[in-house]
Amino acid sequence: MNVPAEFGVRDAQLTELVIPNELRAAREPGERILGELQRWGYAPDVVFAIKLALEEALTNAIKHGNRNDRAKQVVVRYFVDADRAIIMVRDEGPGFTPNAVPDCTADENLERPSGRGIMLMHAYMTRICHNQRGNEVWMFRDNRAQAPGGPVTA
């Protein structure tokens, strides 16, 4: 899947990283993207939002998509400028149906050990979309977007 047209960049503008399917290896794309956000002067609350969404996407890809299979890989593509951050995470798994994920904020699910990542990605990014197979997520964050990932008052 190419970058969604409404994200406003061309495929060739994205930087691509391929990492082994290990959580430790997932630190590298995080550090690179956070470095870009800081270079462009993103506010701390927006950096928090993007870091959170990225970690949830990478964790989902490694644990659920690739099922902790160390022989598999995760592809990360990203673009950051002053106005927006765009991140794609793709695993080699069979994909999933986003709408089939239970609501983690329902009373009966509050104490479940997992299932919060998708909800958080939607909450903290401006736009999320998946490919048809469900093994690739595109996340768009408008640098000027407000809550819940927007400005935080102490």
Partner 1 sequence: MTTPFDLRTRREGAALVVTLSGGVQIDQGDEFQERLLELLCGSAATLIIDLTRLEFMGSAGIAAIVAAHAKAAALGGAVHLVSPTAALRRLMELLRIPAVIPIHPTLEAAIRSVG
Question: Which residues of this chain interact with partner 1, rule CB under 8 A?
Answer: 22-24, 26-27, 30-31, 34, 44-45, 48, 51-52, 55-56, 58-59, 104-105, 107, 110-114, 116-117, 119-120, 123, 147-148, 152-154
Positive or negative, the CA dihedral 85, 90, 95, 101 is negative
- Cβ closer to partner 1: 9 or 22? 22
For the bound state, the minimum distance from the C-beta of residue 117 to partner 1, rounded and expressed in Å, comes to 5
Residue type, 48: F
Nearer to partner 1, 3 or 118 (CB): 118
* Shortest Å distance, C-beta 67 to partner 1: 16
| CB 97 to partner 1: min, Å | 19
Rounded to an integer, what distance in angstroms lies between the CA atom of residue 133 and that of residue 96? Answer: 7
Chain Cα centroid distance, residue 141: 10
